Amino acid sequence: MVNITDQLARSVRDSKLKDGVATVFVPGSTGALTTVEYEPGLLQDFPDMLDRVAPRDIEYEHEKRWHDGNGHSHVRASLIGPSLTVPFEEGRLTLGTWQQIVFIELDTRSRSRQLIVQVIGN
């Protein structure tokens, strides 16, 4: 899990727009975006939850077809989602006090990812 809040806030500031929405999207089927309170407890709780919801050690049809061992990665990414839209006002993201934007790599191997950001407003 990577906290990308500052990078998105920078994109909004650099846009020079006052009010609008910022959308972040991860191309690929094993990465995801969400918001969390980015603190050590949740950094452990979140993967633990994913292990309960979509365990690594059960059979996935995806693996029968592709034999790549990441069926759980695809299921997890689908549950969380590939994009996030955050409104901004006065050039600042309207996040809650303890809310941060995170990218989550769910694949079984390291990947180089580029996120797509679009900032729309006035």
Residue 86 bridge partners (DSSP)? 22
Closest CA to 1 of 65, 57, 52, 45: 45
CB 24 within 8 A of CB 116: yes
User: Is residue 30 classed as helix, strand or coil in its secondary structure?
Assistant: coil
Categorize the per-residue pLDDT at 110 as very low, low, confident or very high, splitting at 50, 70 and 90: confident
Select 2-121's CATH number: 2.60.120.460, 3.40.50.300, 1.10.260.40, 2.60.40.420. Answer: 2.60.120.460
User: 27: phi > 0 → left, psi -120 to 50 → alpha, else beta; which?
Assistant: beta
**pLDDT tens digits for range 22-77:** 999 999 999 999 999 999 999 999 999 999 999 999 999 998 999 999 999 999 99
